[in-house]
Structure 1
Amino acid sequence: MIAVRTVDYHTAGEPFRIVDSAAPGMPPVPGDTVAERCATVIGPGGSGTAPRRGALDDVRRLLVQEPRGHAGMYGGFVVPADDDGAHFGVLFWHKDGYSTACGHGTMALGAWAVDTGRVAAPDDGDAPVRIDVPSGRVTATVHRAGGRTTGVTFRNVPAVVGARKVPVATSFGLAEVDI
């Protein structure tokens, strides 16, 4: 039996449960990067929603089931960053497994990092919080006024165009799309 401490945030009503994976008693998360750690918890040949095995997944399942969670529960295991360029990393999870990104979770983590003092922030102004996620590095900007967090915005991982004007047949006729 282990004790799991969580901090719950809500961003516009969306739940996000934060778990520090370095807390005493938490199962280890092997890997040198956040992407490797994510691949480890997903397992060989797994996808983000395939059934999981292992101690960390037992914790995830515990935290999404009643009375501690619910069908819409989302959260993250805070893990070490890939390098000194980020403040920390995170493995996002939900009731069905794991994901490579989460917008409302990124905002919650930014606010949590500043609110708990993990990342220094001015009383008035903005504080960048750099977070390594399985899909890359994101930056949450925590906006502050009068010593309180007033909002959070974030810049996601870069997207690239793989192809332009690709013809796709639809029920309405031919359409051109960028991929």
Structure 2
Amino acid sequence: MTAPTTVRTVDYHTAGEPFRIVAEGLPPVPGDTVAERCATAIGPGGSGTAPRRGPLDEVRRLLVQEPRGHAGMYGGFVVPPDDDGAHFGVLFWHKDGYSTACGHGTMALGAWAVDSGRVAAPDEGDVQVRIDVPSGRVAATVHRAQGRTTGVTFRNVPARVGARKVPVATTLGIAEVDIAHAGACYASVRARDLGLEVTRAALPELVRAGREIRAALATHPATWHPDGPLLSGVYGVVLHEELPDTPFGPHQRNVTVFADGQIDRSPCGSGTSARLALLAEDGRLGPGEDLLHESVTGTVFTGRIFADGVTEVTGTAYRTGDHAFTADPYDALGAGFLL
């Protein structure tokens, strides 16, 4: 194990989805931008879900794998921003590697930056935390009342629709899949088209369907991003179902299956952005209307979209602990394992 002997983290959860923040003690990550540093972390010939081994990835593996983490863990390495227009940058990671966008992580980082004093904030009112991520510059507006953080609004890079009603064969039948880019590429499918409901009991089937759809779309041209391979390819599959509309707009429940079968416990921030773009194109979400987006765990985000494709997603993020993880050189398990 070449990672530091001790790695210190601050952990948050956003709507139930964990986010483990590493702000110091990292090995050098060469690059002039966060996107270049992400490419460095992935390594030559690697991919977002199959990075090359290296000092930084040893830290990721240590923190995401058991017994220090778990297959549903998510986190980020805080790195320098692209320029002084942002407060900091971040490299998002999960059990399989790295991602180019993460809405729930951006919300957690905004809360952490304010709660830790890294970004000054009023006791009453809002403050914007600007963050460079591999897909561009995003912002977390942190809402404050009575000296505490009460919520965070994530403003994403512009979202756009890639393709509609792409037929995909799965073991549960043919699904018509919509593709949208929102910092990462997401495929959306109605769960009922596969005979499924978005429930905890159906998670094994939902995960299987998500993995099959992601694999089937691996070479589909609509998953390609003009900025290159780092932003291309399906990152997550959003399996969703309709709930009764609210007075403010549509109401949906989803489970997002990302990377290699990982389940988002939150409604998925970037995935919500992708859903907003699709709903807007369908004419189901107009100016002044909100999507109430519910997760399989029952937590919610509220999302809206503007004329330029920029989306905003609001949720809550709470600190869950501070940790000093140790890697004993005599530990035969090393960085750990995944089940």
TM-score w.r.t. length of structure 1: 0.87
What SS does structure 1 have at the residue aligned with 2:63?
A: helix
What SS does structure 1 have at the residue aligned with 2:6?
A: coil
> Residue 119 of structure 2 corresponds to which residue in structure 1?
119
- The one-letter amino acid paired with 2:106 is T
- The one-letter amino acid paired with 1:13 is G
> Residue 147 of structure 1 corresponds to which residue in structure 2?
147
CA distance in 2, matches of 1:2, 1:51: 22
Residues 90-169 of structure 1: pairs in structure 2 closer than 5 A: 90-160=90-160
- The one-letter amino acid paired with 1:65 is Q
TM-score w.r.t. length of structure 2: 0.47
Shift of 1:175: 10
- The one-letter amino acid paired with 1:56 is L
- The one-letter amino acid paired with 2:19 is F
- Is structure 2 residue 22 aligned with structure 1 residue 19? yes
What SS does structure 2 have at the residue aligned with 1:36?
A: helix
CA distance in 2, matches of 1:83, 1:19: 20
User: Is the 2:137–2:157 contact (alpha carbons within 8 Å) kept by the matching residues of 1?
Assistant: yes
- Is structure 2 residue 34 aligned with structure 1 residue 34? yes
Pair 124,42 (structure 1): closer, same or farther in 2 beyond 3 Å: same
What SS does structure 1 have at the residue aligned with 2:38?
A: helix
Any gaps of 5 or more consecutive residues in structure 1?
none
Residue identity (%): 83
Query: Mean alpha-carbon deviation: is it higher for 153-162 or for 58-67?
Result: 153-162
- The one-letter amino acid paired with 1:87 is H
CA distance in 2, matches of 1:95, 1:18: 15
> Residue 44 of structure 2 corresponds to which residue in structure 1?
44
Pair 176,151 (structure 1): closer, same or farther in 2 beyond 3 Å: closer
Query: Mean alpha-carbon deviation: is it higher for 91-100 or for 62-71?
Result: 62-71
Q: Deviations over 1:1-48 (max 9, x none)?
A: 43110000011111000001xx24x21111010000000011123211
Q: Deviations over 1:110-162 (max 9, x none)?
A: 00000001011110000100000000010000000001000001110123467
Pair 170,145 (structure 1): closer, same or farther in 2 beyond 3 Å: same
Query: Mean alpha-carbon deviation: is it higher for 49-58 or for 30-39?
Result: 49-58
The count of corresponding residues between Structure 1 and Structure 2 is 173
Greater RCO, CA 8 A, separation 6+: 2
Pair 61,125 (structure 1): closer, same or farther in 2 beyond 3 Å: same
Shift of 1:103: 1.0
CA distance in 2, matches of 1:155, 1:106: 9
CA distance in 2, matches of 1:100, 1:3: 27
> Residue 10 of structure 2 corresponds to which residue in structure 1?
7
CA distance in 2, matches of 1:151, 1:3: 31
Shift of 1:68: 1.3
- The one-letter amino acid paired with 2:105 is G
Pair 92,146 (structure 1): closer, same or farther in 2 beyond 3 Å: same
User: Is the 2:92–2:101 contact (alpha carbons within 8 Å) kept by the matching residues of 1?
Assistant: yes
User: Is the 2:162–2:179 contact (alpha carbons within 8 Å) kept by the matching residues of 1?
Assistant: no
User: Is the 1:52–1:97 contact (alpha carbons within 8 Å) kept by the matching residues of 2?
Assistant: no
CA distance in 2, matches of 1:55, 1:175: 38
Pair 121,53 (structure 1): closer, same or farther in 2 beyond 3 Å: same
> Residue 75 of structure 1 corresponds to which residue in structure 2?
75
Q: Give the alignment's Cα RMSD to 1 decimal.
A: 2.4
CA distance in 1, matches of 2:177, 2:17: 35
Q: Which has the larger radius of gyration?
A: 2
User: Is the 2:92–2:99 contact (alpha carbons within 8 Å) kept by the matching residues of 1?
Assistant: yes
